[in-house]
Amino acid sequence: MPSIIAVSNEKGGVAKTTTTLSLGAALVDLGMKVLLVDLDAQANLTLSLGFEPGEARHTSSDILLDNASMQSICRKTDVENLDLIPSSSRIETSEQFLPMRTNHTIILRQAIASSNLSYDYIILDCPPVLGAITKNALAASDLLLIPTQAEYFSAYALRNMMTLIRRIREEDNPNLAYRILVTMLDKRNRTHRNISEQLRATFGQGVFNTIIEVDTKLRESPIAGMPITRYKPGARSSTQYRVLAQELMEYAKETKNRQAA
């Protein structure tokens, strides 16, 4: 079974989609086969890989609403071993209709389990709301990756994320783990440094050692329709996402060893 990672934060603008794309590509650079799943109605992940959301006949909403198989919706990208399940604005209807279905919070988990997917990692890009779609993603995941800026409002939003994690553990996924990723850090900014230190003091090992600093190249790569590791391989953020991928792989390996023991 692949390792399943949900990338989520209620706060927008924290590099959630950028992290999904950049981490996925960095894992590919390390020899992994990766599937990215766009669960956001804005479809920014889909756009970032050069696809027009309105052109896709089938999207992630078909999995949640119509029980479509994941294999039937997977799209190859220009990056070898990096595949995509695209999204479109139709997935907004999932928030309305999913709660009407029986066991609606585990539909995505069941879809993954019933699919014969030959990936090492599946990364789920969640919408910036803690509704039915995000709950599905967390119920299906081994790990919740929470990108957060070292700013007050972003850090404050973690309170709601922690509440949701406890609820998901109680109701659907007792083994859900989480890790916080500090993104868009400006080391010259004293407030950024202070809040980053406070996050580590509060959450300890719940924070990735890797940090992602501010990098204008990250804003350019979606326009080029490719991840930062392919757009500017030598950029600082490319290096940092590769280090994050290595840290994540070590974490996944340790987790599987503990479960096997």
**Structure token pair of residue 201:** 């003091």
Q: Is the pLDDT of residue 258 over 80?
A: no
Tens of pLDDT along 173-221?
999 999 999 999 999 999 999 999 999 999 999 999 999 999 999 989 9
Q: What is the pLDDT of residues 37-77, one digit of tens each?
A: 999 999 999 999 999 887 878 999 999 999 999 999 999 99
Lowest-pLDDT range of 75-89, 203-217, 247-261: 247-261
Number of domains in the chain: 1
Give the mean pLDDT of 6-23.
94
Q: Distances from the Cα of 219 to the Cαs of 44, 215, 223, 232, in angstroms?
A: 12, 8, 8, 11
- pLDDT given at position 163: 96
Please, are residues 205 and 176 in contact by the beta-carbon 8 Å criterion? no
* Number of neighbouring beta carbons within 10 Å of residue 11: 20
Nearest 5°: CA angle at 189, between 188 and 195?
125
The pLDDT assigned to 165 comes to 97
Residue ranges making up the domain that contains 105: 3-260
pLDDT tier at 155, thresholds 50, 70, 90: confident
Q: What is the DSSP letter of 106?
A: G
What's the pLDDT at 95? 87
Mean of per-residue pLDDT scores for the chain: 93
**Per-residue confidence band for 134, with pLDDT thresholds at 50, 70 and 90:** very high
Query: At 76, which helix (H) or strand (E)?
Result: strand 75-76
For position 197, which CATH number holds?
3.40.50.300
Contact 48, 17 (CB under 8 A): yes
- Average of pLDDT values for 104-113? 95
Residue 126 phi, psi (nearest 5): -90, 155
Query: Does the pLDDT of residue 99 top 70, yes or no?
Result: yes
Going by C-alpha positions, the residue among 261, 167, 208, 212 that lies closest to residue 5 is 208
Which pLDDT does position 53 carry in this prediction? 84
The answer, yes or no, to whether residue 124 has pLDDT greater than 80, is yes
The lowest-confidence range among 99-103, 161-165, 228-232, 243-247 is: 99-103
CA distance 36 to 236: 23
Q: How many whole angstroms separate alpha carbon 176 and alpha carbon 138? A: 7
Taking alpha carbons only, the member of 133, 131, 124, 135 closest to residue 38 is 124
Q: What pLDDT sits at residue 261?
A: 65
Residue 212 phi, psi dihedral angles, 5° rounding? -110, 115
Per cent of the chain over pLDDT 70 is 99
Whole-number Å distance between alpha carbons of 14 and 155? 10
Model pLDDT, residue 51? 92
Sign of the Cα pseudo-torsion (137, 139, 144, 150, in order): positive
Checking if the pLDDT of 6 tops 80, the result is: yes
Amino acid 56: pLDDT? 79
